């Protein structure tokens, strides 16, 4: 079958790491499964070219595809724009909302071959770690109604509302327990129920959903404690169920435990078959990290998060599990052979470029 992939590379390192992921996918293309890449502008580069961060044509390309492979958007070049027009808020968040991509899976895995890149002590890392951060993605303070009240001098104020509806918590909680059933059967639900009413509600609803999964152990943890526990005792975690903003923060923290933000891939999924073509599951796949303006244009960005995002696309949207595993094994094998981009090694003399890392992976596919 020929699969259509909308390719939205975005800004700064976005196109550099996207190139790597497309090389990997192209290498996996064969007579049985081939990939059509449909490139479209998004983010700051789309603003520069068309005046809009999410042009209608880009949305059309995305709607017509089996899945979206996304790079990342935003950066200093567009920070002078009014907040609502900046690339992050005017392209990525609307895309997530448009396709109802409420579930963001961020697998934080310490490969045993990469243990020395983790800042944690060897006795804490043990034989490696495998944590699934499951982040709710279309609710919370990200999508509450923001307000700005100008013109009252010292009383001027800005506010964002943290809001969750019951069904939004229920559907992500079900997914957390179902995911845990295929793993170590432990869910940590993260909240701030000691202070925030929306989080008291989150805890209440998660507890109710948990009754349907008596075989899964549920722990509640306050987000401040969770931030500390991730470093103190990361192996306690299996599935970490997070509201949108806490999941954003904890996933960056978890990524550094695995060695670098440049390793953390993600899959954003919605209701089964709502946008899916040919009975497949639509999704958007992107690195958890950003556009890394500080290293853009130097050819040194780590392409692995983007490459592993492509693997997740094959797994969850195209149901090509064998090919997803081939990518993951090629990444592990390249790492085991000592391939390190600059973010993964203290010894910069040993660091290889984005293109070299990509070749190390492609040749092992």
Residue 308 interface partner, choices Mn ion, ligand NAD, ligand IPM, none, CB cut-off 5-8 Å depending on type: none
R_g (Cα) of the chain, nearest Å? 20
What is the x/- site pattern for Mn ion, positions 240-259, by CB under 5 A? --------x-----------
The DSSP 8-state label assigned to residue 282 in this structure reads P
Interacting positions 224-253 with ligand IPM (CB under 6 A): 248
Interface positions with ligand NAD (CB under 6 A): 13, 17, 72-75, 88, 92, 261-262, 286, 289-295, 301-302, 305, 343
Residues serving a catalytic function are: 142, 192, 224, 248, 252
- Regarding 11 and contact with ligand IPM (CB under 6 A), the answer is no
Residue 259 interface partner, choices ligand IPM, ligand NAD, Mn ion, none, CB cut-off 5-8 Å depending on type: none
- Regarding 288 and contact with ligand IPM (CB under 6 A), the answer is yes
C-beta of 291: minimal distance to Mn ion in Å?
11
C-beta of 260: minimal distance to ligand NAD in Å?
6
Q: Interacting stretch for ligand IPM, rule CB under 6 A, among 41-49, 88-96, 177-185, 295-303?
A: 88-96
Q: Which is nearer to ligand NAD, 169 or 295 (CB)?
A: 295
Binding-site members for Mg(2+) are 224, 248, 252
- Per-residue burial over 235-260, b if 16 or more Cβ lie within 10 Å, else e, is eebbbbbbbbbbbbebbbbbbbbbbb
Residue 25 interface partner, choices Mn ion, ligand IPM, ligand NAD, none, CB cut-off 5-8 Å depending on type: none
CA distance 8 to 85: 18
**Total of chain residues touching Mn ion, rule CB under 5 A:** 1
Residue 243 interface partner, choices ligand IPM, ligand NAD, Mn ion, none, CB cut-off 5-8 Å depending on type: none
C-beta of 328: minimal distance to ligand IPM in Å?
21
Binding residues vs ligand IPM (CB under 6 A):
74, 88, 92-93, 248, 288
């Amino acid at each position: 079958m020929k699969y259509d992939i909308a390719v939205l590379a975005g800004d700064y390192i976005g196109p550099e790491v996207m190139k790597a992921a497309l090389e990997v996918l192209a290498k996996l293309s064969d007579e049985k499964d081939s990939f059509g890449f449909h490139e479209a502008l998004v983010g700051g580069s789309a603003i520069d070219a068309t005046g809009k961060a999410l042009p209608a044509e880009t949305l059309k390309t995305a709607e017509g595809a089996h899945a979206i492979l996304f790079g990342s958007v935003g950066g200093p070049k567009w920070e002078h724009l009014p907040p609502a027009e900046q690339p992050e808020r005017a392209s990525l968040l609307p895309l997530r909302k448009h396709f109802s991509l409420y579930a963001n899976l961020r697998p934080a895995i310490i490969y045993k071959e990469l243990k020395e890149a983790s800042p944690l002590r060897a006795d804490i890392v043990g034989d490696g770690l495998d944590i699934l951060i499951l982040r709710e993605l279309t609710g919370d303070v990200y999508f509450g109604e923001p307000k700005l009240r100008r013109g009252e001098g010292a009383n001027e104020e800005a506010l964002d509302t943290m809001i969750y509806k019951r069904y939004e918590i229920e559907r992500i909680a079900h997914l957390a327990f179902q995911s845990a059933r295929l793993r170590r059967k432990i869910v940590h639900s993260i909240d701030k129920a000691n202070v925030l009413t929306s989080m008291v509600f989150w805890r209440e609803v998660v507890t109710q959903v948990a009754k349907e999964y008596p075989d899964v152990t549920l722990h509640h943890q306050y987000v401040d404690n969770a931030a500390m526990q991730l470093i103190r005792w990361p192996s306690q975690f299996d599935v970490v169920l997070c509201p949108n903003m806490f999941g954003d923060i904890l996933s960056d923290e978890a990524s550094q435990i695995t060695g670098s933000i440049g390793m953390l891939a993600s899959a954003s999924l919605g209701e089964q078959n709502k946008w899916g073509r040919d009975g497949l599951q639509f999704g958007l796949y992107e690195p958890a990290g950003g556009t890394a303006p500080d290293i853009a244009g130097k050819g040194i960005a780590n392409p692995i998060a983007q490459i592993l995002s492509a693997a997740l696309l094959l797994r969850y949207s195209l149901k090509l599990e064998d090919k997803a595993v081939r990518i993951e094994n090629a990444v592990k094998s390249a790492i085991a052979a000592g391939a390190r981009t600059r973010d993964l090694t203290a010894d910069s003399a040993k660091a290889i470029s984005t293109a070299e890392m990509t070749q190390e992976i492609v040749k092992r596919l």
